Each structure stands twice: as C-alpha cells, then as structure tokens.
Amino acid sequence: MRPITQEKIDKLTEFMQKKKIDSVFIADWENARDVNMSYLTGHPMDANLIITSDGETILLPWDVELAEDYAQVDTLVTDKESRNNYADYVKDTVKTDTPIIGFNTGIPYRYILSIKKKLPNAKLFDEPLKLDDLFRELRATKSLQELDKLVEAGKIGNKTINDIRKFAEEQKGTENDLSFLVMKKMREYGAEDNSFPSLVANVNRSHMIHCHPAANNNVYSANGLALIDFGAVYEGYCCDITIPISFGKLTAEQKKIKKTCFRAYEEAIAAIDIGVPLWKISKAAVDVIEEAGYHIPHGLGHGLGLTVHDSPGIRQKPTEPEKLEEWTEVVVEDGMVFTIEPGVYVKGLGGQRLENDVMIRNGKVQVYTKSEPIEIE
Amino acid sequence: MRPITQEKIDKLTEFMQKKKIDSVFIADWENARDVNMSYLTGHPMDANLIITSDGETILLPWDVELAEDYAQVDTLVTDKESRNNYADYVKDTVKTDTPIIGFNTGIPYRYILSIKKKLPNAKLFDEPLKLDDLFRELRATKSLQELDKLVEAGKIGNKTINDIRKFAEEQKGTENDLSFLVMKKMREYGAEDNSFPSLVANVNRSHMIHCHPAANNNVYSANGLALIDFGAVYEGYCCDITIPISFGKLTAEQKKIKKTCFRAYEEAIAAIDIGVPLWKISKAAVDVIEEAGYHIPHGLGHGLGLTVHDSPGIRQKPTEPEKLEEWTEVVVEDGMVFTIEPGVYVKGLGGQRLENDVMIRNGKVQVYTKSEPIEIE
C-alpha cells in the first residue's frame, strides 16, 4: 500500500484533466532528487515516473528488483534501458502529436530537451509553477499512515536526546564524537538513516547557519553557546531536531542570545492553531528576534515528510509587491507537520537554535519532539 | 588559490566568446547539485554563480561567511537576498536586451523560467548539451593540485582497507557495524566525509547494484559472496573503492562469478594507456563478463574529482545509430582519474565487484588504490 491516499492521486489526475495535461513526467536521480516520485509510488529512489491523465502510473526504475519490492504502480517497466529511453515511453503514453507534458520546475533541463526532441510539437504545460504548487499542496498535509511514520521518526530523535544530554554532561569528546554517537544511537533505535548529516557546532561554529564541515575534531564542550541539529529517517519519513546547549559561565550578551531564541520559540508555538496563516507563526518569532536587535537569516520552519525540507514553509509574508503577487497565503490545516526553529547567531559569541517538530492531528497541535535547552554549568 | 588552473577558466571564456554567450548561469543547491560551481570557485556548496564572457566570476552564496573563507571569485555578492534575486544579477551582467544565456542541462527548469521572466528576450544558448560537454571536458583532466588531493583521498581509503580486512577476519558483526567502522576510521585518517554512504552487502544482498538500505543489521560474514563499496572525501575530492569478499566454501558457480569479475578487472587495467579510447577499456572487461554468460548492469567506471561520479565515463561504445551520432570518442589523457569496477551479480548466489582508482600522471598509469579480493575460508 502507498503511504498516501488514493484521494491525493485523484487530485493530481483531476488537475491534469482540468489543465488538459496529457502526461506528467517526474525524474528522481542522484543530484536531482524529486521526492514526488517516491511520494506517488513508494519506490525509494532512482527512477523516472510517467502519470497519464487517466491516472495510470508507469515507473521506469534503475533497479527493477528494488522496484518489485517497493513500488505500487500500474506498470513497472523492466526494460533496463528505459532510464535512457524515457522519451520513447512518454511518447507512447500520449494520443496526439501535440500533447501537453507537465513537469515540476525542479526537473533538470535535459529531460525537457530530450522529450522535445522525441515529440517536437509537444507543449510544455505553460504554468509549470502551478504543478509545483499542486505537489506542494498535496504533500503539505499527511495521511494517517504518514503521520504514524513521522511520529516514529520523532520517537527515535527523542530517545537520542538523552544520549546527547549525557555526552554534554560528561564534557569530553569532539564534535565528530558526538556526530558518530548520534548516528549510531539513531540506528540502534530503528532509524534507517540520518535525515541529514548532523550539524554539530561548538561555540566557535554555532553562529553559522549551516556549519561546514558538519562536524570536526575540535572539543565540543568549550565554554559558551553550542548546538546540535540532527534527525532520523524512519521508513522514508524524517524528523529534524536542534538542541541549544550552553557550557560554563556566559556573558550578558550570550545570555541575551539564549533568552531571545527561547522566547521566540515560545511565541511561535503559542501562535499555532488550525486556520492561522503560517506567516503569522513566523512573525510571532521574528518580531521577538528583531525587537531584540537581531536578524534571523533563515526561515522559521519547514514541512517534514519524505524529505527533511517538505512543504509547507513557515516564512514571513513577502513585502515586495512583485513577490506578494505570486504569493498565496497558506493556513494551518489538519495533517500538517512542520518544524519551528528560531535561531539567533552572533559571530564571535556563538548561536542558539531551538527546533522541534509539530503535527496537527485530529485538530490538535502536538509538539511531538522533545528538544529543550541543555545547560551545563 | 583555486584547485584548478587559469587555463581552464580561459577555455570556458573562449568557448563563451566563440558561441556568443553573454553569461553562463550555474546553480548549486540541495537536491540539485552542480559541482561546476565548486569547481570554478572553490566555494563548497549552496550558491548561484554567474560567469560573464569577459571571464568575470560573480558568486551569490547562501552563506556569505563560508564564501569569504573559501571562494576565489572576482565578485562576492553579500546581499542575503541574492539567492532569490539571481535573475536581477544576471540581467545586470548583460549588455543587451537580447542576450544569450548559457546553462548546464542539469539546471532545474525553474531557474530558466525566472531568468526568462526578467529577460523576456533572452535566448538560451541553443546547444546546451555542448556546454555540458565543455564542462565535462574541462573536469575530465585534473590539475596537479587536484591530483594531489585525489591521491590523499585514496590513501585514506587504502588505510581503511586494513580495518575492513580485520573486521572480515573476525567474522562477527553486522553490515551496519562495518559501515560505522569504515566511517569512523576514514575520519580518523583525515577524511572530511564519506564520498557516499558505504554499500555493505552480505551474500543476501551483494547481487544488488546499489543495495537499499546501504547497510542493515544482518550479520556480515554469512557464507558466500559479500562486498563493500566505500570512499573518502579529502578537501572536496573523492575516492571510491569496492572490495569483493568471500566467506567459507563456495559453490562452483560462485567461484565462477569471482573468477570472471577478477579476470575482467585485469583485462581492463591492462588495456589502459595514453591515447586508448575509453570504450576499449570497457570492452576489454565486458567481453570477459559476457563470454562467461553474464551481463554487467552498470558502466565499467567513472571519473573521480569533486564529485564521486565525475567525467570521464568508461562505457561501451553505443550500437544504436541514433546514439552513435551524439557520441564522441574520448581517449585516455594525462591528468585523467577514473574507477575501474567490473561486477558480476546473480540473484540467489550473490555478487562480486572489484574497484580501484586509476590516475594518469606524467604519462604513467597508476592504480593508486589498493583493493584486492579478501577470502576468508
């Protein structure tokens, strides 16, 4: 069974019929992932997918055996060359010489070129951003089966928080040691993988949005503000947690960074309710941060699902008229799952980010991961 | 200093001038990596890059501080919104309303849409595959500085082979245990990361081209054919090694699989020399495999560089006239670095793949990684 409902597939085919799209073509490959392939088929990775306007799903996988185990599609193409000859398969699905083919805008341009070569009179669906929007909308609310998997991923994250606390309390070991510990523990607890390489930053690196490398061989428990941002994958579904940690005596400014981050978090969580526009949740936190004289260099939160950056995004309402024109207000709905992760960063002093995962289930707001500040004095 | 030579940048600008391309636009972001951004700038990730026909490089990074540490460009844009407003920056670099903009075909379609919106009369360089080809050609031969980094990555891999051998000899532990051991050891030896998640497959999974998940909690040393495919990243540069391993008494067919794989490897290595067409190296191995009645479901080898699948590809010469028409013969040149990795896979019996990394330096062919079969009786 697919983790998503037939209703979502039906929405896609309704959209295609309304927009007169003959076939949608989706490609998911190394360096150009499109999670919609997994989302619509259950097949984990490396395949092209064609969806016809009748709702037929045709999968062209690299690894046919893997697809036999995982994919839930109408037609599984076993021809080993199909991943190169995909344009022929697209051609076979359409009934006219002038079909309309739909793409996500994330698709590498080469696929469009190849399909245009095989079907020179094909039209590209001329509002491709709307196809993106549709997929984002479909993925923004989860089925119950998806929610269950997200909760399991969150539980693995929660167990790992205890290990991180112990590691911090012992005040020894490097960023890399903590990174490995987290990876090992998450697998022990049932994760199939990290949802991304854990970002482990001591005071010298915690001011970076996304420290590079993700962890290094420096001592983790140096005095000051540190953090760890990590997550587990459970049956394809991701969690994402950041724990702000402080070691030793802090300066007044470091205390202010901490306090501002945590207050922004509390305000954002308090703002979440069914029907609330997502930008208002963002504003609740960003106002706190900006009033304190800081700037948050990233969005307040993002959806979680088969990818760690899923829809919906929790961001500010655009102010520029040009962007406002393209923007659509999205409100909190049942089935949404997203992170809340305000951060305050000052080079030289370090940064703090507090991130938990929130789910709306049966009309209730549940903060289902359990990150909280760790303070080692 | 960039790890590549000015000569390569000059080749790009010569190409642009010859083809009358006003600006080339490159985007490297999560889920749509384009290693040419790092290649041309030294900046590790997450940025847009514009190259003008005068050879000016303009970087629009997500993390400005990271770029300040790493990027070697003419202009580093510090405007935090530049990653969204890239089309404005492209517009600023061109001198006419009808410029020609060059893209790699891997670029997500959305970038093309945004730039077309801002520059409605812009023409896309109408042979974009040729721009891809140029980048592939530039990256196919390495500078001395790049070769040094590749050798360092290979050394880390070679040290780790000893740890893998010990693990196999002890005949205990799971696929995941070996996966973690390799990750930990490679970091100890100086790797900044794995070049990909190690594929650790015992007899039940070694017939898969790319086992999923990459490692699991089953015992590794079960009787029969196993393998491990792993690699290190050193200062951005990758190595890639596969060790075929066998445990216990093998059946006649399993022995044949092993023997065929190793003989194919020997034939391929023997075929490498300056001036030899790459397809002939592939053919040397594939002939052995096919004469034994097997089929190799992947290419014989691939380039190594800033990405673990770099150019050149070591593949068969196409047979279909349509593909042959688009195909160009590439021959072995000084500065090339690539894997040789024949594999033989039979479901139910397991698989064997032997993979080492080869470098052509000062006219000499060097197999600089040291994988060889491990046989535990």
Tell me whether B362 touches chain A (CB under 8 Å): no
Instruction: Answer with the one of A115, A140, A165 that is the final residue of a domain.
Output: A140
Distance, CA of B331 to CA of B327 (rounded, Å): 13
Shared domain check, B151 and B30: no
pLDDT band at B3 (very low <50, low <70, confident <90, very high): low
Shared domain check, B165 and B95: no
Shared domain check, B218 and B179: yes
Shared domain check, B118 and B148: no
What CATH number is attached to the domain comprising A110?
3.40.350.10
Shared domain check, A119 and A158: no
What CATH number is attached to the domain comprising A223?
3.90.230.10
Domain membership of residue A1 (yes or no) is: no
Element at A312 (helix H, strand E)? strand A310-314
DSSP symbol at A364: E
Structure tokens belonging to residue B264? 């194919």
Residues 52-91 of A with CB under 8 A from B: 62-63, 65-66, 80
CB pairs under 8 A between A and B: 104
Structure tokens belonging to residue B341? 């990795």
Pinpoint the alpha helices (H) of A171-277: 175-188, 252-271
Name which of A84, A36, A57, A40 is nearest A311 in CA terms: A36
Domain membership of residue A56 (yes or no) is: yes
Shared domain check, A361 and A228: yes
Ramachandran angles phi, psi of B112, nearest 5°:
-65, -45
The pLDDT tens digits for B100-135 are 999 999 999 999 999 999 999 998 887 877 888 899
pLDDT by residue for chain A (377 residues), tens digit each? 566 778 888 999 999 999 999 999 999 998 788 999 999 999 999 999 999 999 999 999 998 988 999 999 999 999 988 988 999 999 999 999 899 999 999 999 999 999 999 999 998 887 888 888 899 999 999 999 999 999 999 999 999 999 999 999 999 999 999 999 999 999 999 998 899 999 999 999 999 988 888 998 899 999 999 999 999 999 999 999 999 999 999 999 999 999 999 999 999 999 999 999 999 999 999 999 999 999 999 999 999 999 999 999 999 999 999 889 989 999 999 999 999 999 999 999 999 999 999 999 999 999 999 999 999 99
Domain membership of residue A233 (yes or no) is: yes
- B228: β partners: B200, B243
Tell me whether B209 touches chain A (CB under 8 Å): yes
Domain membership of residue A36 (yes or no) is: yes
Shared domain check, A109 and A34: yes
Burial class (CB in 10 A: 0-12, 13-18, 19+), B163: middle
Ramachandran angles phi, psi of A184, nearest 5°:
-65, -45
Contact B286, B296 (CB under 8 A): yes
Distance, CA of A139 to CA of B250 (rounded, Å): 48
Number of domains in chain B: 2
Domain membership of residue A108 (yes or no) is: yes
Tell me whether A103 touches chain B (CB under 8 Å): yes
DSSP symbol at A72: -
Structure tokens belonging to residue B98? 């009808």
Burial class (CB in 10 A: 0-12, 13-18, 19+), A92: exposed
Instruction: Answer with the one of A85, A119, A140 that is the final residue of a domain.
Output: A140
The reported pLDDT for the residue numbered B2 is 61
Shared domain check, A134 and A25: yes
Shared domain check, A231 and A153: yes
Domain membership of residue B34 (yes or no) is: yes
Query: 3-class secondary structure for chain B?
Result: CCCCCHHHHHHHHHHHHHCCCCEEEEEEECCECCCHHHHHHCCCCCEEEEEECCCCEEEEECCHHHHHHHCCCCEECCCHHHHCCHHHHHHHHCCCCCCEEEECCCCEHHHHHHHHHHCCCCEECCCHHHHHHHHHHHHHCCCHHHHHHHHHHHHHHHHHHHHHHHHHHHCCCEHHHHHHHHHHHHHHCCCCEECCCCEEECCCCCCCCCCCCCCCCCECCCCEEEEEEECEEECCEECCEEEEEEECCCCHHHHHHHHHHHHHHHHHHHHCCCCCEHHHHHHHHHHHHHHCCCCCCCCCEEECCCCCCEEEEECCCCCCHHHHHHCCCCECCCCCEEEECCEEEECCCEEEECEEEEEEECCEEEECCCCCCEEEC
**Residues of A with Cβ-Cβ distance to B213 under 8 angstroms:** 192-193
Q: Give the sheet arrangement for strand A310-314, strand by strand.
A: A310-314, A301-303, A337-340, A356-361, A364-367
What are the CA-CA distances from residue A95 to residues A111, A115, A120, B310 (Å)?
Answer: 20, 15, 14, 39
Shared domain check, A224 and A122: no
Q: How far is CA A228 from the centre of its chain?
A: 18
Name the amino acid, one letter, at B341.
E
The reported pLDDT for the residue numbered A3 is 62
Shared domain check, A275 and A206: yes
Nearest-Cα residue of chain B relative to residue A216: B192
Domain membership of residue B1 (yes or no) is: no
Contact B187, B163 (CB under 8 A): no
**Residues of A with Cβ-Cβ distance to B129 under 8 angstroms:** 110, 113
- The alpha carbon of residue A131 is apart from the nearest alpha carbon of chain B, in Å, by 12
Distance, CA of A8 to CA of A138 (rounded, Å): 6
**Residues of A with Cβ-Cβ distance to B197 under 8 angstroms:** 193
Shared domain check, A131 and A148: no
Segments forming the whole domain that contains residue A232? 144-376
Burial class (CB in 10 A: 0-12, 13-18, 19+), A352: buried
This prediction's pTM: 0.83
Distance, CA of B28 to CA of B72 (rounded, Å): 16
Instruction: Answer with the one of B78, B108, B139 that is the final residue of a domain.
Output: B139
Tell me whether B109 touches chain A (CB under 8 Å): yes
